[in-house]
Structure formats: structure tokens, C-alpha cells
Structure 1
């Protein structure tokens, strides 16, 4: 009897990765809702520009939510799917009733910083487990989000 799962990873490694990915998923879900709220509620002279940008960002975040959940399933585990679970697992806090465009952008920057940090942890764990699929996914997300962070910082001046 082997202790590997259906994709050839050691079950203990897959379990650790799934747990870490579930924490990442929780953070993505709360961050997604924050950005959605910024999109709905932003006010001010940069409304049109920010409203469109926030839609672009939350659409991408929603895609990543699905991809992270599917990676957990690929590892042979179940993704958490209740907001009550997300609230207990997330490092990103809900950001309610924010209307100022600059405050919204700062909230997005803070969220991405948290995601990048968590994804680096996932990447390290995946590399140690020889899990190329999870490592590639995390690496791609980090690269994209680092560029977004740079651009948002440039926007703020």
C-alpha cells in the first residue's frame, strides 16, 4: 500500500497543502468581497476610472477563487465554502463602507500584500512536496499580483 494520492503526491504533503490552500481560499473570498464593495461604493473625481479597475480586479479574484478551490480538490481534499469558515480562517479583514478612492486602493494593496505572503508560503510548501502544479499556480499568481501592486503604488504616487 502506498501513501501517495491519485496525482502521486505523498498524502501528508497533500493534506498540508490543502490546509494552506484553504486558508488562501478564505483570504481570497474576503478580499474579493472587499474589492466588490469598493467597486460598488467608490465616490469622487476618479469614480469612473476606479469603478472599472475594481471590476477588472474582482473578476480576476473570482477566477482565482475557483482555481484555488479546484486545486484543493485535485489534491484530494475539500475546499471550505462557508463564509462563517472564511471569517475564522482569514487574515484579511472585512473592509466595510469605504467610499474614498485612495482608501479603496490602499485596501486593495493591503489585501494583495497578504495574498502574496500566503502564496509564497504555499509555493515553499509545494516546492518541498515536489508539487509542480501548486507551485506553478502560486508562482503565476505572485508574479501577476506583484505587478498589480507596483501599478497601484504608482497610481497613488
Structure 2
């Protein structure tokens, strides 16, 4: 077994980096969607949702940077082209959404995809003894599960 500079199996880190780049792609598309919701929101809950969406995209931006830096820490290169993000993302690009409920529904759906991918990454990182990625994914999952509950409550679900 060949190990990288942080003592992890290089073949396993290659798989992890690929999965992290896929997650990064999903985060980037989700981030731009939420920016669009923030900019274009209209209606009764404008002030509440405008502020909530800003809070969300600020958090997504931090996670984007953490994921990219984790790829680098594993000895690989993070994806950094929107063409790659669109190609690899399961979160669909959303355009011209101004309705609050539609935006929140899209957010809940996007989080479901992220959480699923992060659970897969959690298992993959565990198999690779990559405690750094395990910790990151575990933190994201627990935080986002609560966020999904709150957004679903807003929707009355």
C-alpha cells in the first residue's frame, strides 16, 4: 500500500477526492441557486426569506472552501470550472425563481441530495481511515438535518 503525505492510502484518497469533487460541484450549483433566490425573491415573506437565503449562501460558501481545501489536503486538485460543476451536479440549476415556497422546496430537495452524498462520503472516508473527511461530513450532516427540518416546518410539512 502506498500512502500520501498525511499517511492515507493513495488509491483510497483518489476515490475520496473524486467524491469530494462531485460534492463540491453540487455545492457550487446549490450556492448559485440560493444567490438567485436571494436576489429575486418577491412576495409576503420577502424580508424573512431574503435574510434567510443570505445566511444560507454564506454558509454554503464556507463549506465550498472547506471541501476544496479537503481535496487539496488529500493531495488532489479541486474542481474549479462551472462546466465541470454543471456536468457533475445532481442539484439542478434553477433560474428565475422568485416564489418563496418554490425556492424553499428547491432548497429542501437540494439538501436531500447533499446529505445523501455526504453519507456516502462518510462511509468511504471511514473505510479509508480518513478522520478529517469523516469529521467534516458528520458535522455537515447533523447541521443540515436540522436545517431541513426548519425549512420543512416553514412549508408546513
TM-score, reference length from structure 1: 0.98
| Rounded Cα–Cα distance in structure 1 between residues aligned with 2:6 and 2:13 | 10
Residue 3 of structure 2 aligns with which residue?
4
* C-alpha deviation, 1:97, in angstroms: 0.4
Residue 127 of structure 1 aligns with which residue?
126
For structure 1, list consecutive stretches of 5 or more residues without a partner in the other structure: none
Deviations 1:16-59 (A, max 9, x none): 00000000000000000000000000100000000000000000
Deviations 1:109-135 (A, max 9, x none): 011001000000100000011100000
* C-alpha deviation, 1:65, in angstroms: 0.2
| Rounded Cα–Cα distance in structure 1 between residues aligned with 2:5 and 2:133 | 15
* C-alpha deviation, 1:86, in angstroms: 0.6
* C-alpha deviation, 1:140, in angstroms: 0.2
| Rounded Cα–Cα distance in structure 2 between residues aligned with 1:117 and 1:41 | 28
Residue 89 of structure 1 aligns with which residue?
88
Residue 26 of structure 2 aligns with which residue?
27
Residue 154 of structure 1 aligns with which residue?
153
How many residue pairs match? The answer is 156
* C-alpha deviation, 1:96, in angstroms: 0.4
After TM superposition, what 4+ stretches of structure 1 lie above 3 angstroms from structure 2?
none
Residue 78 of structure 2 aligns with which residue?
79
| Rounded Cα–Cα distance in structure 2 between residues aligned with 1:41 and 1:111 | 18
Residue 100 of structure 1 aligns with which residue?
99
**What's the C-alpha RMSD, in Å, of the aligned pairs?**
0.6
Residue 68 of structure 2 aligns with which residue?
69
| Rounded Cα–Cα distance in structure 2 between residues aligned with 1:88 and 1:45 | 35
Residue 45 of structure 1 aligns with which residue?
44
Deviations 1:39-94 (A, max 9, x none): 00010000000000000000000000000000000000000100011111110110
